[in-house]
A = this chain, B = another copy of it.
Amino acid sequence: MKWDDLNAQPCSIARALAVIGDRWTLMILRDCFLGVRRFEAFQARLGISRTIVTDRLRLLVEEGVLRREAYQANPVRHEYRLTDKGLELHPVILAIARFGDEHYADEAGPPVLRRHKGCGCDFQPVQVCSACGEPVSARQVEARAGVGFAGV
């Protein structure tokens, strides 16, 4: 399979990864959630070539994850902001951050803390079942073909 065929797979994970599964795309999204919006900022923070930044931002805009908006005229300059669709990627970023915190943090503790404004506490995300509200672990989940299934 080529990378470009992923989005044709009858698998939500494959289709999502066709958009965000790229090496640098998730790093760019991480920065988006930290408030970074400008081309130069992405490029400087990640230290990657401008070509890649251009390309990934364009892809994310095409996919509706980011939107490109002018923030000044003369000369016209654009910034990249998360759309509502983009905001829905927050759980993905948070889940990755948690895994990283637990397995790759320095002894001193994780480098970034996240505070829940609702309760004012630093927190880690917990995944619960949408039906019963109980935390879900891998072994308690049984995957099976759904209506949209067509192979794989």
Where the two chains meet, the residues of A that have a C-beta atom closer than 8 Å to any C-beta of B are: 1, 3, 6-7, 10-17, 20-23, 26-27, 30, 33-34, 45-48, 82, 85, 87-106, 108-119, 121-134, 136-150, 152
A30 CB, nearest partner CB in chain B, Å: 5
**B95 and A91 contact, CB distance less than 8 A:** yes
Tallying the copies of this chain within the complex gives: 2
**B26 and A113 contact, CB distance less than 8 A:** no
**Contact among B11, B87, B134, B138 for A118, CB-based, below 8 A:** B134
**B88 and A99 contact, CB distance less than 8 A:** yes
Note all chain B residues with C-beta closer than 8 A to A110.
12, 146-148
Bound CA span A33–B144, Å: 12
**A112 and B17 contact, CB distance less than 8 A:** no
